[in-house]
Amino acid sequence: MLQDKDMVNDYLAGLNASLKGYAGYISETNNPELRQALIQLRNQDENRQRTVYDLALQKGYYQPAAPASQEVVQQVKTQLTSGQ
């Protein structure tokens, strides 16, 4: 029998996978109505993902990585804006 933690983590993994899929579908569609529908679905899944993530964090089901230092954040920003 699945534990609550397993179900929450499985649902989070599914939401994360669908969010990655939406990025590709949205960028490749040529139909404006379909594109807008996909964007709405993605936004709904992003909201669901955040809600479930917050629950997992609150219940102790998920332990996020340590926050990046300001130096690392700045380094990544520099690399992304310089095109490297």
Counting the structural domains of the chain, the total is: 1
The band of 62, judged by pLDDT with boundaries at 50, 70 and 90, is confident
- Rounded to whole angstroms, the Cα distance separating 78 from 84 reads 9
The pLDDT score that the predictor gives to residue 84 is 53
Query: Which H or E element spans position 30?
Result: none
pLDDT at 65 over 90: no
Note if the pTM is more than 0.85: no
13-25 pLDDT, tens digit each: 999 999 999 999 9
The pLDDT score that the predictor gives to residue 75 is 92
Among residues of the chain, what percentage have pLDDT more than 90?
A: 79
Q: Do the Cβ atoms of 48 and 8 come closer than 8 Å?
A: no
Cβ neighbours of 52 (radius 10 Å) = 18
- Rounded to whole angstroms, the Cα distance separating 67 from 72 reads 10
Domain residue limits at 45: 4-82
